[in-house]
A = this chain, B = another copy of it.
Amino acid sequence: MQRDRASAAGSDGAAAAPGALAIICGGGTFPAAVADAVAKSGRRLVMFGLRNWADAALIERYPHHWIAIGQLGRFLRLAHEEQCSEVLLIGTLMRPSLSAVRLDWRTLCLLPRIVRAFRGGDDHLLSAVARMIEAGGLRVIGVEQVAAEIMAPLGVLGSVQPTERDRSDIARALALIAAMGPFDVGQAAIVADNHVLAVEAAEGTDNMLLRIGEMRRQRRVVNAAGVGVLVKAPKPGQDRRFDLPSIGTRTVENAIAAGLAGIAVAAGSTIVADPGETIACADRARMFVVGVAAGAPQ
């Protein structure tokens, strides 16, 4: 994890006019789905793994560099050397503790701006980072621009249909997520038979799902299994170039364990990692997965 091998670029000739794509990569399993989709499209990509966050096995599968949080100057230099024209920010990045941050000079100069953004919540922080990258001459783009095929489409994805009650639970959760938008809270909630069972904040979707089982044991949740929906949608006004909601097989497995009826995600703005296996997993459990229209995209 510590070495900084400036791997020779993939040099498979790439596709079109735009230069290589730099992928700044945090933790989680979703970056793999994105990187693989981009690679399949034929575009040359260079991974920039965030040290301590990104999965080494994924990063080292492609031409790559390791960077630390706070090394904006180093990133920009390397990205230019690699002839990258565009940047994708992908993966989870929990709020780093200050000891994990390595500041280079450029970042240091921008620090007051970063601190202000940090206090404003995740969205502001990422938007500020994106602005600083763009000031460095690169264009920050979103997943849908390079790997639209891994975004959830509108409609039922597997073989199970949501019921009318599920539809009503979905609508309530979407409205709740929209109402919480100004507070930069999570992008997910669980609603069962019109009751809000859980709201995601810093704990993440998997932890939120796990607590449904705990609440059942405590008799705080008494809905029968097969009632209730996990709903994921971007916050209204969210910059859709980063931090999009995402689901994968683990999400489905945890939703099954929580006894839910299904999962609804905002169509066009939610990543479905490994969609084949994810949907198959849901189908086997008779759980629906549906892409829904969630407010007007920004």
Contacts and interface: CB of A to CB of B under 8 A. Distances in A.
Contacts of A6: none
B194 A203 contact: no
Contact of A194 (B97, B120, B179, B220): B120
A222 interface: yes
A260 B222 CA distance: 31
Given A203-B211, A215-B203, A196 B220 contact: no
Interface string A169-180: 000100110011
Contacts of A172: 183
Contact of A196 (B96, B119, B185): B185
A60 interface: no
B96 A222 contact: yes
Contacts of A179: 179-180, 182-183
A95 B222 contact: yes
16 contacts: A95-B220, A95-B221, A97-B222, A119-B193, A119-B194, A121-B196, A122-B195, A179-B180, A180-B180, A198-B203, A199-B200, A203-B214, A203-B215, A203-B220, A207-B218, A211-B211
Interface string A201-244: 11110010001001100111110000000000000000000000
A200 B201 CA distance: 10
A92 to B, nearest CB: 9
Nearest to A182: B179
Contacts of A56: none
A144 interface: no
Q: Which of A95, A184, A215 has the most CB of B within 10 A?
A: A95
B202 A201 contact: no
Contacts of A293: none
A197 interface: yes
Given A176-B183, A203-B211, A211-B211, A121 B222 contact: no
A285 interface: no
A111 interface: no
Contact of A215 (B183, B190, B202, B214): B202
Nearest to A125: B195
A189 B172 CA distance: 20
A233 to B, nearest CB: 15
Contacts of A200: 199
Nearest to A179: B179
A139 B207 CA distance: 43
A115 to B, nearest CB: 11
B194 A201 contact: no
A94 interface: yes
Nearest to A52: B219
